Each structure stands twice: as structure tokens, then as C-alpha cells.
């Protein structure tokens, strides 16, 4: 009887995880975090940059209308002319957008230097007009290099 009591007490003392099992679990969690955190940060920055993209894309119809009104030329399709909304000067933007400039149909959006998005990560939309194909838009700027938008 004494022998059985000692065995059951020994089982109670040694039940649970060993130090090695705990270290392996911590290592697995650390590796997963090391992979997941940078990816999460990049997607968070892309979400902030979406506001910059929307600010530029909303001006495309106005530039297209200016192109029609000007007879196929983009000269003088500037902010504040031919129905295109006025430019937003540097520092006058809201949220993630610092400035929006339209010059000869080219839309340039500069993001605010915040939330992991730099002011150098610009979003530039350049229109190209063809009488047969109509208007097409090329995307360029620092946002392409940073991977916020595909160009």
C-alpha cells in the first residue's frame, strides 16, 4: 500500500510540460511572429496608402472630361480648370493625403509623412490619349518602388 501511494505521488510531481517542450513551443511562436509581423506592417501601410490612391483615382473622370472638351489635347488640363477640382497645396490635405496636383492631365498625389508611408511615396497617374483606343492611365511614382501599388 505504501508503495502505491509513493508511485501516485511521484506521478503527480512529474506531470506537466518539460522545460524542453516549453522552449520548443516558445521558439515556434517566435519564428511565426518574426514572419508575420513584417507582413502585417506592410499590409497596414498599404491600407493607409489606399487613401492616396483614392485621392488620385477620383480625378480621372474630370481629366477625361477636360480631354474631351479640349479636343484630345491634355495641355492646360490643370487643377481648377475645365471642371477639374482645384489643386490641394502641400500641407492642405486631409488624412494620409498631403497634396494633390493636376498639371497637363498628370495627377500627382503626395502622401503625408505618417503611418509608415513617406512623402516620397508619391502616386502619379499619367494619361495617354489615342483617337482609336481612348484614354489610358500609367501609374508611377515612389509608391511603386515601395510596393504599395502595382505599376
Q: Which residues pair with 125 in a beta bridge?
A: 107, 139
Q: Give residue-wise pLDDT tens across range 35-89.
A: 999 889 889 999 899 999 999 999 999 999 999 888 888 888 999 998 999 998 8
Spatial distance between the Cα atoms of 82 and 68, rounded to a whole number of angstroms? 10
**Percent of the chain at pLDDT above 70?**
90
CB 77 within 8 A of CB 63: yes
Specify the pLDDT at position 144: 86
End-to-end alpha carbon distance in the chain: 79
Q: Which residues pair with 8 in a beta bridge?
A: none
On whether the pTM is more than 0.85, the answer is no
Specify the pLDDT at position 26: 96
Q: Which residues pair with 16 in a beta bridge?
A: none
Q: CB under 8 Å to 129, separation ≥6 — which residues?
A: 67, 72, 74, 135
Sketch out the chain's domains with CATH numbers: 18-146 (3.30.700.10)
User: CA distances (Å), 18 to each of 9, 14, 22, 25, in order?
Assistant: 18, 9, 6, 11
pLDDT band for 124, please (50, 70, 90 cuts).
very high
User: Which residue is it, cell 475645365?
Assistant: 82
Amino acid at each position: 500500500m505504501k508503495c502505491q501511494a509513493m508511485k501516485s505521488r511521484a506521478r503527480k510531481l512529474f506531470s506537466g510540460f518539460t522545460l524542453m517542450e516549453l522552449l520548443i513551443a516558445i521558439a515556434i511562436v517566435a519564428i511565426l511572429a518574426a514572419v508575420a509581423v513584417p507582413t502585417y506592417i506592410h499590409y497596414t501601410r498599404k491600407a493607409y496608402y489606399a487613401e492616396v490612391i483614392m485621392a488620385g483615382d477620383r480625378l480621372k473622370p474630370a481629366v477625361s472630361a477636360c480631354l474631351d472638351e479640349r479636343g484630345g489635347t491634355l495641355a492646360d488640363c490643370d487643377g481648377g480648370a475645365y471642371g477639374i477640382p482645384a489643386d490641394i497645396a502641400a500641407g492642405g490635405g486631409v488624412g494620409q493625403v498631403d497634396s494633390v496636383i493636376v498639371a497637363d492631365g498628370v495627377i500627382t498625389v503626395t502622401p503625408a509623412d505618417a503611418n509608415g508611408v513617406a512623402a516620397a511615396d508619391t502616386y502619379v497617374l499619367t494619361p495617354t490619349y489615342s483617337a482609336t483606343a481612348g484614354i489610358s492611365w500609367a501609374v508611377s511614382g515612389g509608391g511603386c518602388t515601395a510596393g504599395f501599388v502595382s505599376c
